[in-house]
Amino acid sequence: MTDARSPEPSIAAREPAEPASPPPCHLLDLVAEGLLPAGWEETVAALADAPECLTLSRTDQWSFSVVQGDVVCDRLGWLWELYHGVLRDFATRACSRPVVAAARLRSTMTLNILSGPGASSDWHRDNNAVTGLFFATARTDGGGDLLFRDAAGRESAVTPRPGLFVCFPGAIEHRVAPIADGRRLSLPMVYHDSTADQPPAYGDDVYVL
């Protein structure tokens, strides 16, 4: 017997949910590839606690801090090498455009630290040809996915896990969904189309490989 009072259509009569679209990025599992040194997770976690860490925004509940590229280069030499080698080559192939590393040392790559309930980043586009992201922590309970949004407003998600590298054209809108608690560590990497077509470096921001 059906319940005539129910205003809800039956499940079968509902429109089928739109299938989730795949995220517009390319994935490389650096753990599976055997490209990460023993103890790398502890080294990244220690860097997130280092005095060189700069807090950019803070509320009662959460904070957003970064460690800049000059320090990352110094302390995570293995990732610096990957940034200029394997990851750059992967990004070039995956995104079908030759990319080069950023000329400015401090913005080549950063360690981003989102900490505390609600920590997130808003929808934005990156001002570079291709963005790489290396995840150093797993999805926190119920949050912290990397979300993409297409021109029609459809969203897709990548769930962080330690050692996962993703890359995508910087022009694609993306954000970090709020974390439930704990600390989310990621290392965004900047790639440009050419050495000429990017902001130049000056002074102690210049580096030589």
Ligand X SMILES: O=C(O)CCC(=O)C(=O)O
In the complex, the residues that contact ligand X under the rule CB under 6 A are 112, 121, 126, 133, 146, 174, 176, 186, 188
157 with 23: CB under 8 angstroms?
yes
Q: Residue 177: name its binding partner from ligand X, Fe ion, none (Cβ under 5 to 8 Å by kind).
A: none
Q: Residue 102: name its binding partner from ligand X, Fe ion, none (Cβ under 5 to 8 Å by kind).
A: none
Q: Residue 167: name its binding partner from Fe ion, ligand X, none (Cβ under 5 to 8 Å by kind).
A: none
Helix (H/G/I), strand (E/B), else coil: 200: coil
Q: How far is the CB of 209 from ligand X (least distance, A)?
A: 23
29 with 164: CB under 8 angstroms?
yes
Q: Residue 186: name its binding partner from ligand X, Fe ion, none (Cβ under 5 to 8 Å by kind).
A: ligand X
Beta strands in the chain (DSSP E): 26-29, 54-58, 63-67, 100-101, 111-115, 121-124, 130-135, 146-149, 155-158, 164-169, 173-176, 183-192
Q: Which of residues 95-134 bind Fe ion (CB under 5 A)?
A: 126
Q: How far is the CB of 66 from ligand X (least distance, A)?
A: 8
What gap in Å lies between CA 182 and CA 47, rounded to an integer?
A: 16
Give yes or no for residue 173 binding Fe ion (CB under 5 A): no
